[in-house]
Structure 1
Amino acid sequence: MTTPLIPLRRQRDYRLLWSARAVSETGSEVARLAVPLTAAVALDASPIQMGVLAAASTFPFLLVGLPSGAMADRVARRRPVMVACELIAGLAALSVPIAWLTGMLTIPWLITVAFAIGMCTVVFRTFNTPHLATVVAEPQRTAAIAGFQSVFSIAQMGGPGLAGLLVALLTAPVAIVVNAVSFLVSAFCLRAIRTPENGTTAKGRGLGREIAEGLRVLINHRVLRALCATGMIVNVLGAAEMALFVLFAVNVLGLPAPLVGIAAIGFGVGGLIGAAIAPRLAGRFGENRVLLGSVLFFPFGFVATAAAGGPLWLVVCQLGAAEVITGVAVVCYSVCAGSVTMREAPEGLLGRVNATTNFATQGVMALGGVLGGVLGEMLGLRPAIWACAAGSLLCIVSLWSSPIRRGARPGAAEESPSTAPHPRSDPAASRT
């Protein structure tokens, strides 16, 4: 007889983990608007400088993404590393308002802070996924991932409005202090988690060999590879658009600073809806069908942004409504993709598979930021965003041409959608 699982909302350690993400993500959403506004308004940044600033926060995924995955699979205790990441990120963010008040803040300073926080983010995310597996039982992980997605959505709903208010009252650089405090509160919540990490320290066989093993699993597993490729496409184009969005919203659409975050608010509302319905949709239709349906809506936000224009009220409605729809789609996709990744990754390799996926999907955002800056300089702001809209159609091609589509057909086995040998049963996948 199996013991009934305690609902997640009644599990103290999950609530602490959820709360840590809630405060940290809210602070990050404030900084997501306040940092580019600081660069664009207070420091008069050019499109190229905005692109480099956007790239600085994601370049660490390329730099340390793969090694951090190998380390996450090696260590027995991951929580202390996560706490340290939050503390360091908090101190880095705190340096921005201090530098501004003392007259020392520059674009290179902002880029350096973005890079430091990005480094902490990479390590934190890599260690967080295997840590989640120690806090939440396997049958509850899809719901747990949906819970985290609701955190991100709530932060996107409240963060930009809070950021707009703080920017108006305190100036953009000083508003970043909220981000610093949120990192420190997150570290406190993580430190209070009691669930023991009883894993054993894995014996290292060489960092290069362990990284290669994670790469080989991702490349050879056709389902994981398709999810990764789709994520790379949407992220590189999304980063290119976001590098230009503040300049586009202020200079082309004429949005005042407090309304620049309207797209993020709309995305947050849609994401909250998506987090609520994703587990139900996955339970009824299967994760594969949800993935295939969600990706059809990915180009919608790009097109709506590029086509936005007219009176202020119409622009706000266009951006807000489009991002609500996009938010639902992206979060449904993300929840199901995360659940499939945790299910399909071979035992003992989840950290490396997750890190390799992040290396690819998040690392390309650094290239996307630079791409956005270059397109903005060469084509102009609106044509550059139209170019991103056209490229986003590749997301549909990537996923619908993969084994995920075959696995979603009636009568197909949802648990094993790939026609390739599963890494756990393929002897070649376990060689080093």
Structure 2
Amino acid sequence: MPQATPLRRQGDYRLLWSARTISITGSEVSKIVVPLTAITLLAASPFEMGLLTAAAAVPALLFGLHSGTLADRLRRYRPLMIGCELVSCAAALTVPPAWVLGLLTVPWLIAVALVIGTAAVLFRAANFPYVATLVPPDQRTAAMAGFNASYSVASVAGPGLAGVLVQVLTAPLAILVEGISFLISAILLRSIRTPEDRQPARSRGLWRDMTEGLRVSVSQPVLRALLGAGVTINFFATAYVAVVMLYMLHTLGIPQVLIGPLTALSGVGGILGAWATTRLVKRHGENRVLAGSVLFFPIEILVVGLLDGPLWWKVTVLALIGTSTGIIVVAFASCMSGVIMRDTAPELHGRVNATMTFAVQGVMALGALGGGALAEVLGLRPVILLCAAGIATATLWIWVSPLGPVSPPRPLPRLRSRLGKRRSGAAFVPLGSSAETDRTITKRQPLV
């Protein structure tokens, strides 16, 4: 068989990757700039800051499942993606003139966050199945690893860029960067030339289409294992994130000036993880990479929970842990998305991905609340150790499923949608193969 063209030489994939990288970097800048605007210029109260923070997550809870149903009804994904970026651009660009005219308020910022958050939910629902139409099956894992590398780059570069922009432009004007990033992303997406020729299955109604995605996600053994592992990892990882900074400062005595660089190392690790994942999957397949990477999550947290000694030793260990965390998160997340693409019927890609995203992101709020509440009662170090024990149970989800070594790989029939006759002629890819893949966790960094 002729060798496929490397992704870096595929012009349309480069355009999609560049669009996402620029857009995500702009969003990372706004995560710093928008709260600064609310605090320093609008004197936002703690309650208002809570509303502003929640506004970014609310659309995923309200529209997450519906967005997957919408995506599966589309004949073409790219027009929706371009529209979402343009709407986000327009929303962000209202902030600087509103500030100049004296009209900017905290409710205005909350409304902007809600609009951009809703557009982001719709964009992600279309982007996931769109990758499957743009990239050959045996390159999807590498493609998703590339997107995860974008998140890692943005998580490192975004906050630093935000600091510079705030100093040069002031906080409200710095939001221009986010709006411009959305506009550039839309232009790059518009430049993609690969035609979309998709025939969606007939809809049976919004509710029945949505519940079909839920049914498939919990009834198919592989998808059920990924869903269970993703929810488990994100719950305990978010509980860990909620207390680890306090733990580093008050228990380990890490100087404040080192917290930022130590956190940024996760992004550096993510870039290395994207490079390593592509090569590991080619050699061992997604199943083995998933089964191997899930073992490292509890080990890393356990090391942090048991850490002691002189300052130089603690900083060295935390630096190594931060880097390795980024590597493992990207490896697991990329393979998770690839397996979802591989083992889901094409007409269900949008709904299954939306169900996964809804569950693994929705549990993050519970994890954060649980971690903070337990730390008040038990203390910081016990909660860190409890998170290590809890996240270890994610290993069981993977290892006793068809993805793990405990259950021998066997070809499972690809799930057919009940929406009607399947229109794709794609052959089933056995679970033991090293074909396609991806999705995301975030650094400790929850699953995407």
Write the letter of the residue equivalent to 1:379: E
Cα gap change, 1:91 to 1:303, in 2 (>3 Å): farther
Write the letter of the residue equivalent to 1:168: Q
Corresponding residue for 2:418? Answer: 430
Cα gap change, 1:184 to 1:254, in 2 (>3 Å): farther
Corresponding residue for 1:398? Answer: 394
Corresponding residue for 2:331? Answer: 332
Corresponding residue for 2:427? Answer: none
Q: CA deviation at 1:169?
A: 3.3
Determine helix, strand or coil for the equivalent of 2:409.
coil
Structure 1 stretch 79-88 or stretch 60-69: which is displaced more?
A: 60-69
Distance in 1, matches of 2:96 and 2:54, equals 21
Cα gap change, 1:241 to 1:92, in 2 (>3 Å): farther
Cα gap change, 1:24 to 1:414, in 2 (>3 Å): farther
Write the letter of the residue equivalent to 2:338: S
Cα gap change, 1:167 to 1:313, in 2 (>3 Å): farther
Structure 1 stretch 219-228 or stretch 396-405: which is displaced more?
A: 396-405
Q: CA deviation at 1:5?
A: 2.1
Q: CA deviation at 1:106?
A: 4.2
Q: CA deviation at 1:44?
A: 5.9
Write the letter of the residue equivalent to 2:57: T
Q: CA deviation at 1:31?
A: 1.9
Consecutive unaligned residues of structure 1, counting only runs of 5 or more, are: none
For residues 325-375 of structure 1, what are the alpha-carbon distances to aligned partners after superposition, in whole Å with 9 as ceiling and x for unaligned? 211110000111111111111231111111111111223335556667x74
Determine helix, strand or coil for the equivalent of 1:430.
coil
CA contact (8 A) 1:234 1:392 kept: no
Distance in 2, matches of 1:155 and 1:225, equals 31
For residues 100-138 of structure 1, what are the alpha-carbon distances to aligned partners after superposition, in whole Å with 9 as ceiling and x for unaligned? 444544444333322222111111011011111111111
Cα gap change, 1:137 to 1:431, in 2 (>3 Å): closer
Determine helix, strand or coil for the equivalent of 1:176.
helix
CA contact (8 A) 1:56 1:111 kept: yes
Distance in 2, matches of 1:220 and 1:317, equals 44
Distance in 1, matches of 2:111 and 2:306, equals 34
Q: CA deviation at 1:35?
A: 3.2
The correspondence of residues 280-319 of structure 1 with structure 2, limited to 5 A, is 280-299=279-298
For residues 269-310 of structure 1, what are the alpha-carbon distances to aligned partners after superposition, in whole Å with 9 as ceiling and x for unaligned? 000000000122223333233223323333577678889999
Distance in 2, matches of 1:408 and 1:385, equals 31
For residues 4-41 of structure 1, what are the alpha-carbon distances to aligned partners after superposition, in whole Å with 9 as ceiling and x for unaligned? 42221111111110110111111122222333444556
Write the letter of the residue equivalent to 1:122: V
CA contact (8 A) 1:164 1:261 kept: no
Cα gap change, 1:172 to 1:326, in 2 (>3 Å): farther
Determine helix, strand or coil for the equivalent of 2:346.
coil
Distance in 2, matches of 1:341 and 1:241, equals 27
Is the counterpart of residue 9 in structure 1 residue 1 in structure 2?
no
The correspondence of residues 130-209 of structure 1 with structure 2, limited to 5 A, is 130-209=129-208
Distance in 1, matches of 2:48 and 2:387, equals 23
Q: CA deviation at 1:321?
A: 3.9
Write the letter of the residue equivalent to 1:396: A
Distance in 2, matches of 1:217 and 1:237, equals 25
Determine helix, strand or coil for the equivalent of 1:413.
coil
Determine helix, strand or coil for the equivalent of 2:289.
helix
For residues 157-179 of structure 1, what are the alpha-carbon distances to aligned partners after superposition, in whole Å with 9 as ceiling and x for unaligned? 22222122223333444333222
Corresponding residue for 1:82? Answer: 81
Write the letter of the residue equivalent to 2:21: A
Determine helix, strand or coil for the equivalent of 1:25.
helix
Cα gap change, 1:31 to 1:354, in 2 (>3 Å): same
CA contact (8 A) 1:221 1:422 kept: no
Corresponding residue for 1:65? Answer: 64
Determine helix, strand or coil for the equivalent of 2:202.
coil
Corresponding residue for 2:405? Answer: 409
Is the counterpart of residue 379 in structure 1 residue 379 in structure 2?
no
Cα gap change, 1:246 to 1:387, in 2 (>3 Å): closer
Q: CA deviation at 1:392?
A: 5.3
The correspondence of residues 48-127 of structure 1 with structure 2, limited to 5 A, is 50-127=49-126
Write the letter of the residue equivalent to 1:337: M
Distance in 1, matches of 2:379 and 2:170, equals 31
Is the counterpart of residue 270 in structure 1 residue 258 in structure 2?
no
Determine helix, strand or coil for the equivalent of 1:203.
coil
Distance in 2, matches of 1:185 and 1:308, equals 45
Distance in 2, matches of 1:279 and 1:397, equals 26
TM-score (norm 1): 0.82
Structure 1 stretch 132-141 or stretch 181-190: which is displaced more?
A: 132-141
Determine helix, strand or coil for the equivalent of 2:197.
coil
Cα gap change, 1:362 to 1:273, in 2 (>3 Å): same
CA contact (8 A) 1:79 1:131 kept: yes
Determine helix, strand or coil for the equivalent of 1:58.
helix
Cα gap change, 1:219 to 1:171, in 2 (>3 Å): same
Structure 1 stretch 213-222 or stretch 30-39: which is displaced more?
A: 30-39
Consecutive unaligned residues of structure 2, counting only runs of 5 or more, are: 421-448
Distance in 2, matches of 1:120 and 1:275, equals 27
Distance in 2, matches of 1:177 and 1:217, equals 42
CA contact (8 A) 1:161 1:261 kept: no
CA contact (8 A) 1:23 1:182 kept: yes
Write the letter of the residue equivalent to 1:197: E
The correspondence of residues 218-229 of structure 1 with structure 2, limited to 5 A, is 218-229=217-228
Kindly tell me the number of residue pairs found equivalent between the two proteins.
418
The correspondence of residues 241-256 of structure 1 with structure 2, limited to 5 A, is 255=256
For residues 238-281 of structure 1, what are the alpha-carbon distances to aligned partners after superposition, in whole Å with 9 as ceiling and x for unaligned? 5566678899999997746xx76435521110000000001222
